């Protein structure tokens, strides 16, 4: 069964895959896209720009937070991929651990010592065992995938599929977010499998109508 609560819609950024524009550099285009996504109603924005230096990441994260605050009530949570230092310096809502990040237990312990209990710690998982381990080590949520085929997740092997997604959702009490090849057409199937939400890159970066996409993802 899906965990109770709002179906989470998360935009995962990748400035390098945005359509070229004559106006501004890639970071400026990404900032505008984040602003559009927040105004369209996404719940989370994960800043996933692994090659940017810390200073640029902090600036980008803060710009995303400003966009979220400008959106007003129910504003999006801004998370940072991998970089706990950046997430903390920018006062982001949390950090998302990839497979090569610090262990979840170390991240949750750092959160405890720094005294910000509402700071989210999440993890990307590509197996049922990984999902269970993340939950046992204190993760607040996990991304599970790739559920469907997608170029950005090809290095993680064959798609997990909906049956494995359902197993992952049943195995833990924390939210499981489906990722990998998510579209407006298959997001409902992820929800039926028990996912607490979906996360995507291309879906948000290649859509001309983000508000329509966000509504479809929630089944409206």
**What's this model's pTM, rounded to 2 decimal places?**
0.92
Residue 175 vs residue 153, higher pLDDT: 175
Q: What value does the mean pLDDT take over residues 82-89? A: 95
Strands 8-12 and 44-47: parallel
Q: What pLDDT is stored for residue 1 in this prediction?
A: 39
Q: What pLDDT is stored for residue 4 in this prediction?
A: 57
Render pLDDT for 154-191 as a digit per residue (tens, 0 to 9). Answer: 666 689 999 999 999 999 999 999 999 999 999 999 99
Render pLDDT for 114-138 as a digit per residue (tens, 0 to 9). Answer: 888 899 999 999 999 999 999 999 9
Percent of the chain with pLDDT over 90: 71
User: How many C-beta atoms surround the C-beta of residue 21 within 10 A?
Assistant: 11
Q: What pLDDT is stored for residue 101 in this prediction?
A: 84
Q: What pLDDT is stored for residue 124 in this prediction?
A: 96
CB 131 within 8 A of CB 176: yes
Orientation of helix 161-171 relative to helix 128-136, angle to 10°:
20
Render pLDDT for 187-215 as a digit per residue (tens, 0 to 9). Answer: 999 999 999 999 999 999 888 888 888 88
> In the structure encoding, which two tokens stand for residue 25, read together?
């550099």
Total length of the chain: 220
Structural domains of the chain sorted by starting position, each given as residue range(s) with its CATH number in brackets:
8-217 (3.20.20.70)
């Amino acid at each position: 069964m899906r965990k109770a609560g709002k179906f989470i819609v998360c935009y995962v950024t990748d400035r390098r895959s945005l359509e070229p524009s004559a106006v501004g550099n890639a970071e400026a285009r990404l900032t505008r896209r984040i602003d559009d996504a927040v105004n369209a109603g996404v719940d989370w924005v994960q800043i996933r720009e692994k090659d940017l230096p810390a200073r640029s990441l902090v600036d980008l994260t803060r710009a995303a937070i400003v966009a979220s605050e400008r959106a007003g009530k129910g504003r999006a949570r801004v998370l940072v991929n991998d970089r706990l230092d950046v997430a903390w310096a920018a006062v982001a809502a949390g950090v998302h651990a990839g497979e090569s990040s610090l262990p979840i237990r170390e991240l949750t312990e750092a959160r405890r010592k720094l005294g910000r209990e509402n700071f989210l710690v999440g993890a990307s998982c590509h197996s049922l065992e990984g999902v269970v381990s993340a939950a046992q080590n204190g993760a607040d949520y996990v991304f599970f995938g790739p559920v469907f085929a997608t170029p950005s997740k090809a290095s993680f092997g064959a798609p997990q599929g909906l049956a494995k997604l359902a197993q992952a959702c049943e195995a833990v009490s924390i939210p499981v977010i489906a990722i990998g090849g998510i579209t407006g057409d298959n997001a409902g199937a992820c929800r039926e499998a028990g996912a607490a939400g979906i996360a995507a890159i291309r879906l948000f970066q290649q859509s001309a109508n983000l508000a329509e996409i966000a509504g479809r993802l929630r089944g409206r």
